[in-house]
Every structure is written in C-alpha cells, then in structure tokens.
Chains A and B, each alone.
Chain A
Amino acid sequence: MTVQDIQLLERRLQREKAARKKAEEILEKKSLDLYESNKELKHINEILKQKIEDQNKELNKTQTRLQEIADTVEDTLFNMDHYGNIIFTNRYATLLTGYSYSELLKMNCIELIAPSMRAEMSKKILEFIESNDPFLYLEFQIIGKNKKTIWIGQKTTKSKLDNGQYKFNAIARDISQQIEDRNRLLKAKTLLDENERKYREIIANLSLGLCEIDLAGMITAVDKNFCHLTEYNEEELIGIHAVKVLTDDKGRNVIENEEIKRKQGISSNYTVDIITKSNRTKTVIISGTPKYDENDTIIGSIGIHFDITERLRDKQQIANIQDELHIFKFKYESILQRMQLGVIETSTEGIITKANDYICHLLEYELSNILGKSFNVLIGESLKDDQKLSKLPLDQQIDNAELNIETTSGKNKNVVMSMVPFYDAELKTKGHISVIHDISNQKRLHTNLKEAKLIAENAQKAQKQFLANMSHEMRTPLNAIVGMSHLLKNTDLNSEQEELLDILSSSTSILYSLISDILDMSKIEAGIIEVQSKRFLLQKLLNNLYKTFSIRCKEKELELKLSVDPDIEEYLIGDELLLNQVLINLINNAIKFTDHGYVEIKVDLVKNIHNTQLLKFYVIDTGCGIEKNIQENIFEPFQQKNNTLSTGTGLGLTIIKRLLEILDSEITLVSELGKGSTFSFEMQLAIDSSISDETDHEHENIKQQFENDYKLLVVEDNEMNITYISKLLNLWNLDFEVAKNGKLAVDRCRENSYDLIFMDLQMPVMDGIEATSIIRKELPKYSKVPIIALSASTLLTKKKLALSAGMDDFLAKPYTPKQLLETTRNYLKISISTPHTVVNSIKSGIDQNYLKELYGDDDEYKLEMFELFIERLESNLINLEMHKQSDDFQSIAKLCHKIKPSMAMVGLMDLQSMIEELEHSAKSEDRVKIDHQYRMFTQALDSKKKLVMEEIKLLKRIDE
C-alpha cells in the first residue's frame, strides 16, 4: 500500500466519519421530533376517546328514552331504510304483529304486507318517493306471525339522507274494526238505498202520487206522479198549503179531520175529491201516515194518492161500450163476409159454428150445409193427426199450415190455414177461429216457374253443346285447308301459284284465328271455360312458343327474345293450355304491330309463397305503341289499335283479359306511342315438387305403389263414386277410410289422423264446405293436412267457395285414375324414383299441344297427315343425300324449305328448327355447318321417325 493510498483511505475515513456523525445528528433530531409528535398524538387520542365515550353514553340514553317513549305509544312505529328494511320499531308493533323486536329488525316491511296487496303498495311507495308529497297515508292488510290478517292505516314520512338515500318513518294503527264498521255501514246503506229505490219504483209504477206535508200543512216534498195528478209542477207545489189550494170546502173538512189523526200518530185511508190546476175534479183515495224525525217526533204526514177518477168514469162508460161493441161486431162480421179470406169459427168439439161467404164459395157449399159439420172432415183432412181439432190442446194455435182440400165438385185446392183459440169472458176457450187463404194459383205459378227454369237450363246446356260442336265443325274443314295448303307447298309450283298459295295460306290463318277468337269469346261468355290444374314444364311451353314464333319473326326481320328467371321451378301446376293461349295471343299481337326491333317474352319470379311461385309474364315489343286515350278501353271487345290495319276480330285482347280473369289474374299495359308496348300479368302457380316422368305412361302410373304408411279419408255419399275411388286407392296400396257425410268426416278427423282428405262438396247432413271450415277452425292438427274437393261442378264460383273454405285443391268429377293419382302424389309429396330419361324427352319431341291445336279432336285427319309424312320421308331423305353428295347447296336449301312445314305437321318442332338451320347454312354455303347439321338432323329424324310410327299405330287403334 502506498502512501497515497493510505492518505486516500484516511481522507475517505474522515469523510465517512463526518458523514456518519452528521447523519446521527440528523436522525437524533428526527427521533426527538417523532417522540414529541407521538406524545402529542397520544394526548389527542385520549381526549377523543373520552369524547366518543361521552357521546355514546348520551346517544344510548337518548336511544333508550326514545325507545321508551316509542314503546308507550299506542301506535305502531317503524323506521325503514332506503330498501324498506326495518331499522327501528316499538313495543306496540311487536304486540300487533306477534313478531319480537329482533325478528322485526331482520325483516323488510314488505314481508309484513299481505301478499295480494304487495304489488300495489310497492307501486304507491315508489310513487311517493318520486313525488313531492310530504307524507303518504295507506290502508292495507298485514299478516301477523299467527297468520292473522290485520287492517292497518299507515302514515309514512320520508327524509333524504346525505348519501342520497331515503329513510322512512311510519306510524301505523290497527283499523280492522274501523274497516269492518265501514263495510257494515256501506252494506246497510246499500240495502237501505235499494229498499228506498224499490219502494219508490213501486209507487211510481202504481201511479201513486206521493206528497209530504209539515205540521202546518205546507207541502215539503212531492213526486212526479203527484205533480201529474194535480197538473202542477214541483216548484209550484213545494211550500203551498196543500188543503187550501188542492181541495174545495168539502174535501178540506175531510182532510183536516184526518190530519188530526196524523198528529196523534194514526194512519188511515179515505176518499176525497181534489181540484187540479186546470180546475178539474179528480177523485183520489189517500193513504195517510204520520212522518217522524230521528227522535221519533211527528213532524208532518205523508199521503199516498191513488187516482180513481177513470175507474169511476169506466163504470159509467161500460154501457156505452156495449153499444159500440154491437156496432163493431156488425162491422167485423160484414168485413169477414166480404174479404178474400175464408173464416170459420168452430166449437171446442170441432163443429163449425160460423163461416163466411168466401169459404162457402171456395168449398162450393151452401152455408147451411157447412154449419154443424165437422171441421176435420171438411177442411182439416190433410192435417197431421195431432193437429186435428179435438186432439189439439184447446189453447194451442196453428200457424200457416199448408193443406189440400177437396171441393164438392172434387177439385183440389191448396190453402194456407191459421187457427187461433178464442175465449169467453171468463177466459175459457170457447172454440177456434180459422183463417183460410187459397194459394192454388200461386202454387200453379210456382210449378210453371220451375218448369221454365228447367227449360232455361236445358237451353244453356244446348248452347254449350252447340258451341262444342261448332268448334269442331268449323275447325275441321279449316284444318283441312291449312293442311292441304302446306301439302300443296310441297308440290312443284310456279311463282304465280306460289304467290296465290301464300295469299290462300295467310287468309286461312286469319280466318282460323277469327273463328278461334269468336269461339273462345263465346265460350268465355257462356262461362264454360274450365280451369284445369295439371303439372307442366314452363320452360318447354316457352320454348315451343319461341320456336313457333321465331319463324314469323324472321319473316318480319324481328328479333325474338326469351328470358326466364333461373329461379323458377321446373315443374309447375296450372292450366298450361290457357296460359299458352294467353301468351300466343299476346305474342301474335306484339309481332303484328311491330315492324322494327324485337319482341321479348320474359318471365320473372316475383316471390315464393309457401308451395307456390308468383310469376310475372311480360310480352314486350318495340312496335307502334298505343295512344294513352285508347289504352283504357283497348281490352273491351272490338277495340283495335288501328282500325285501318285490322286483320282480326278485335277480340284478341278481350279474350286475354277474360282468360286471365278466369285464371285469377289481370293484364297490365304500359305503352308509349311510337316506342312500343309491354303487356304483363302475374300468375301464381303451385310448385310440383314430385319428379315424375313426363310421358303418358298411364299404365305404369296407375300401378304406382305407395310405400309409406299414409292414411287417407274419403268423404263421399254416392255409392258408385265410393266404389270407384276405393278400387283405385286399393290398387295403389293406400290405406283409407270412408265417411258418408261431412259430419261423420269431422267426427273421424277428431278421432284419427289422416294425411290427405278427399271431400265431396254436396252431401246430406253436412256438406263438404262446412265440414272443411270446421276441420280447419276447430282441429289444429289438421291445419296443414291437404283437403281436396271432389265435385261434379266445374263452375268457378263453386271452386272459389271450396278454396275459401280452406280446401287446397279441386278435382272435377269425373276424374281419371291419372288425375287422382297425380293429385294424391302432389299432396302426399311423394317423389318418384323413375328418372327423367332421354327416351322420354325424345318421345316428348312430338308436340302434342301443337297437334291438338292443329287437328283438334280430328284424329282421322291427323292420321292422314302422319301417314303422308312417312310416305314422303324416304324420297325426301334420298334427295337430300344426293344433293349433299353433289354439293348442290341451292337444291339442299330448296328441299329443306319444302320439308320444313311437314315437320310441324307431325309435331316435330325441334326437327323443324333443325332443318331451318340447315336451310340457312345451305343458303350461305357453309359446308362445315352443313355437314354437322345434316348429320344431326338425320340422326334425330331416325329416332323420331319411330315416334311418328307409334303415333300412327295409336291413331289407327282409336279409329278401329
């Protein structure tokens, strides 16, 4: 260690030592300070402790004093904290409630209140807290420890503490006795009021006049009857001297004598004459009684006045009345004699005692021959046994009985008879009076009307039949013309002939549509269009329309557009034919009035509603448009857009409108002149969720087996119908029960569960509509079970009625097995495992709808066309092949053009468009396309030829 190091350490040591001393000095001083402070603190503490002790003592004293005071109080005292917990109470409270101090101090005040009143009281207390009221008085019941109910009246005051909470002071008193007294008093008063009211009512009803007078004879109170009696009003009577004003001298003496008795407390009755305001004299019986005050001191009297003037007068008038009666009797009898009603009086034994002229005339009897005869024999022959006189109880009457009676000469008369008993003065039945009205003429009229109605109905039937016949008769020759024109086109024609043929064709089609329109219109007017709900492919319908009209559009160089909302279901249920007809008419119109641009068919899905889809159909064109002022009545018959251009009946739009009305829809038109028109309508169509094959394999379908355990109810009264439907349902292995009327059906539904109900509409006891309403309303488990109406009526009203009663669908009788099966399947929601095969779609390649339109029901003509098609096909195909080999495009085009219509004639619409495409390609000499399209066409034709052959076979069988 060097010297420097030692010096350094020494310096450090000195510094540390100095620092330590300094620190000790500081700490010692601090220590001393602390000691002093501590001492002072201790002193202060002691003083504080003493003070607190003193205050506690004082507080305890006050508390005890307070409790003592509180305990001597004859009222219940409670102090409650903000939450209603009891924090202070007194001895009386323990006596009243039966709970001890310590028990009460653990309770919330609400626990004491009777449970039924807690809610109400809590509400009132909360209102009190919110309010500015200084106190709250409540009367309520509390339940004591011994479960006894006590009524208390409680005054509560509130005070707000520093912490914002409230403290409540309550003084309560047992008011059970008061409440009981009050209730008893109330009851007594009600009883008293009731008695008083009754008593007054009785007097009022008896027309008894009430008058009260005081000891001086001044009137103090009167009632209405008394006013009426004296003809004075109340103000005039009160305060007047009764005897002086209301009687003469004679009456005054009587009354004053009576009043003496009153003052002695005696009641009495007497008769006296009084003078009314108009100075008339009335005789009254007065029943007088003294009137007492509460101290039983007589303070006047009460008189009840009974007016007997009329009665006295009646006696005198009886004699006069008897005279009048005689006159009246004479009048009455002469009236009876003359009026067009037969009147007969009979004795209690049923012997005729009186009869008027009319009845003699009616029965072709002399009066002398009628009197003394038995009523039953002469008139009441056709009465029911218990209504015959002598069997009928004497005081019974007969109202409007319809009777057949025979006259002397053997004529039958229809009469209506009413019979009433009549009485003698002692109210004993003296006999009967019968009034007889001849209704033979009305009856005859009624029968005639019935006959007329039958004739009218037959006429309507005939009209329907006529229209149906007409439709066929007119269309058949026209079909021939259309068909022949097409065939004629296939022959070699020179240009002039072709031109003439074109005119012939277009004229024919105009004529065809004219007749169709008129027939459709007539059908609509006659109300014989029926809506048929069947499942169909909307896309297919639209595709066919597209194909049909694309040719016409091409001719007019118009674009035809088709757009369908992809969310629309594939299979829908609705009337495909009517929908098709509406769309054809609309598209026809659109094309007719459009020269440039396009025609668009558009279908949008508006929304899904349960198991249905609401679709909106548009037919949009860029044609000439319609003026605003014409738009309104364009749907009326014989209104056209442009009369100079008219090429139709003017019924087209009317038919559309009416058809849509039948389909529960409405056409809407938006149009601007020169820019085009948009026709649209909405239609709600049911979704067919079951996938079944498209074809009419009725046999297969009918053999359908239902695998699930469904249970059906058939409600039907007709035995034959029951047999029919039973057979079918058995065939399909479906379990079912039969109810023979609506009432039985409701009973069955109550007891069992069914998955589907077929319900006849017209049945005895209870019809299908009523039964359905009851099932829907009263049996919740049936809210979703489908109910299908079965009815022979296809009238729309009946159908609407059925649907509005809650039925789901309507199957028109007679229904085919297929219809029944489809409906059953639809509503049982059975999916069919048979896939939608290619073969089916090829078969469906024959457009039956189109053929139906073309040929109607004329199968003979159809067969002819089909045979012709096959006959020609071979040579056409050979020619086509030859032209193709030699690359003769022009000839291919020509031949295609020729063949084209014949494809439509057998309903091969897709082939028609294929060959049309081939024709186009040939015209533009596009070899690649030609090759491809030719191959496609011949392949397709090969398979479809079989379909045509099959169709021919089918047609031949029908012919045989």
Chain B
Amino acid sequence: MKGIVFTELFDMVEEAHGYAAVDNLIRNCKLSTDGVYTSVGTYPSSDMFVLVGTLSEQLSTPIPDLLFAFGGHLFHTFTQKYQSFFQDHTHAFDFLVTLHDHIHVEVKKLYPDAELPNFEYQRANNQYMEMTYTSERKMSDLANGLLHHCLGYYDHRFKIEKENVVKDGSVVLFKISIL
C-alpha cells in the first residue's frame, strides 16, 4: 500500500485530535515500520488494517465510518495535489470514467508496485451510472467516501447506493444517480 495513505491517515488524525492521538495510535499498534512512513514508499496493507482497527477502538467509531471519513479527507488532498486531473471536467461521471483507464495508469507509471483497486463502469446517461469496485483489501467504504466527495466537488445533487456483490465486500456495486 502506498505511503501516502498512511501519511494522510496520520494527517487526518492529527488535524482532528492533535499529534498526541497519532503518537498514541502508533504506539498501540504493532507495525512493520515502527510508525515511520513516507508518501513515496510502499508498505504492507496489514499495517493499515492494524492502524484502522486500533483507531476505531480508540475513537469508538465503527471502521466503515472511519474509512468513509478518511475517503473524504483523501479526496480533498487529491484535489489539492492533482488539480489537473479534476479541472478538465464539469460532470463527475466524466471524471470517474477516467479514473481507472487514465489516472490509475498514470499512478502505475510513477509507482509500478502500486496495488490499485479495479473499477468497472456502466454509464447509462448523464443521470445514472454504476461502478463495480473490486479489491482484495475490501476497502469499499473508503471508495464510498471518495465517491461522495467527488460528486460533491462537481456540485451535483446525488444519491449513491452501495451493495455487496460478493458477501465479504471484495466486490461492491455502487449505483450513482444524479438528482
């Protein structure tokens, strides 16, 4: 998993609860790196699961809610850092369909070792599309958070329905309607 996910998670916790919370989190987890992460590095996913699980306990927030919030934070960071990916579009769907075939390709160029979730799209029209999320890391809630903020970013009024295609959450269908 890319280091940016870890550094951003720490940033989010620090913003909300101060660095003491980050320190507390790191010290309470058994991590492969002793809590040292850099955005350009790559680290085992298990570290993330441990961090999220612990954070959930410490904040008494369910993991899905935590991941959803983290999605929102991440999206905000992306729009700051990679503005050019977003500003070419006026409709969220136009951006979303570029995600897998375009942005992920660019990411892969920079970080050949990045393991990215797979997205499949079915766009009916400008009002409705479906996205299927496939990832062994089963972090569809994170994706959900990203999606919500993305739709908000383009000023749409929208509704997103999420359903598990495979029970364990490795394949998830998002039904996105513009209202």
Contact = CB atoms under 8 A, between A and B. Distances in A.
A50 B26 CA distance: 58
B41 A23 contact: yes
Contacts of A19: 36-38
A5 to B, nearest CB: 8
Nearest to B10: A15
B19 A22 contact: no
Interface in B20-43: 20, 22-23, 26, 34-41
Interface string A1-21: 000000010011001001110
B40 A23 contact: yes
A22 B20 contact: no
A23 B3 CA distance: 10
A12 B38 contact: no
Nearest to B7: A19
A26 B23 contact: no
A30 B109 CA distance: 13
A842 B22 CA distance: 113
A20 B19 contact: no
Contacts of A18: 34, 36
Contact of B40 (A11, A12, A15, A27): A27
B18 to A, nearest CB: 9
Contact of A22 (B22, B26, B36): B36
Given A8-B19, A8-B20, A11-B23, A26 B41 contact: yes
A26 B43 CA distance: 13
Interface residues of B, number: 13
A15 B38 contact: no
Contacts of A20: 38
A23 B38 contact: yes
B84 to A, nearest CB: 22
A8 B38 contact: no
- Interface size band for A: 10 to 19
A15 B36 contact: yes
Interface in A11-70: 11-12, 15, 18-20, 22-23, 26-27, 30
A27 B20 CA distance: 29
Secondary structure type dominating chain A contacts: helix
B35 A15 contact: yes
A308 B116 CA distance: 122
Nearest to B14: A12
Contacts of A26: 38, 40-41
B100 to A, nearest CB: 25
B35 A22 contact: no
Nearest to B20: A8
A11 B20 CA distance: 10
Contacts of B40: 23, 26-27, 30
A19 B35 CA distance: 9
Contacts of B23: 8, 11-12
B13 to A, nearest CB: 13
Contacts of A23: 38-41
A8 to B, nearest CB: 5
Nearest to B110: A30
Contacts of B39: 23
B158 to A, nearest CB: 38
Contacts of A22: 36, 38, 41
A373 to B, nearest CB: 122
B126 to A, nearest CB: 35
A12 B13 CA distance: 14
B6 to A, nearest CB: 10
A32 to B, nearest CB: 15
Contacts of B35: 15
Contacts of A8: 19-20, 23
Interface in A661-676: none
B9 to A, nearest CB: 14
A26 B40 CA distance: 7
A26 B110 CA distance: 13
A11 B19 CA distance: 11
Most B Cβ at <10 Å: residue of A12, A27, A30: A12
Contacts of A12: 19, 22-23
Contacts of B19: 8, 12
B124 to A, nearest CB: 35
Interface string A248-259: 000000000000
Nearest to A23: B38
A20 B19 CA distance: 18
Interface string B121-161: 00000000000000000000000000000000000000000
A27 B36 CA distance: 16
A945 to B, nearest CB: 85
Nearest to A24: B38
A733 B39 CA distance: 109
A20 B41 CA distance: 11
A245 to B, nearest CB: 104
A918 B55 CA distance: 109
Nearest to B42: A26
A19 B34 CA distance: 11
A30 B36 CA distance: 20
Most A Cβ at <10 Å: residue of B20, B23, B35, B38: B38
A15 B20 CA distance: 13
A422 B156 CA distance: 121
Nearest to A11: B23
Nearest to A22: B38
A22 B37 CA distance: 8
Nearest to A17: B36
Contacts of B41: 22-23, 26
A30 B38 CA distance: 14
Most B Cβ at <10 Å: residue of A20, A22, A30: A22
Nearest to A8: B23
Contacts of B37: 19
Nearest to B6: A19
Most B Cβ at <10 Å: residue of A8, A12, A19, A26: A19
A382 to B, nearest CB: 109
A75 B20 CA distance: 93
Nearest to A30: B40
A22 B40 CA distance: 9
Interface in B34-81: 34-41
A19 B23 CA distance: 15
Interface string A496-512: 00000000000000000
Most A Cβ at <10 Å: residue of B22, B26, B36, B39: B36
B81 to A, nearest CB: 16
Interface in A449-506: none
A23 B37 CA distance: 9
Nearest to A12: B19
A27 B3 CA distance: 13
A8 B24 CA distance: 9
A892 to B, nearest CB: 84
B39 to A, nearest CB: 8
Contacts of B22: 12
B50 to A, nearest CB: 16
A23 B20 CA distance: 24
Contacts of B20: 8
A273 B39 CA distance: 134
A489 B37 CA distance: 133
A408 to B, nearest CB: 123
A571 B19 CA distance: 104
A20 B34 CA distance: 14
Given A12-B22, A19-B36, 13 more contacts: A8-B23, A12-B19, A12-B23, A15-B35, A18-B34, A18-B36, A19-B37, A19-B38, A20-B38, A22-B38, A22-B41, A23-B38, A23-B40
24 contacts: A8-B19, A8-B23, A11-B23, A12-B19, A12-B23, A15-B26, A15-B34, A15-B35, A15-B36, A18-B34, A18-B36, A19-B36, A19-B38, A20-B38, A22-B36, A22-B38, A22-B41, A23-B38, A23-B39, A23-B40, A26-B38, A26-B41, A27-B40, A30-B40
Give me the 4 closest cross-chain CB pairs, A-B, nearest first.
Answer: A23-B38, A18-B36, A19-B38, A19-B36
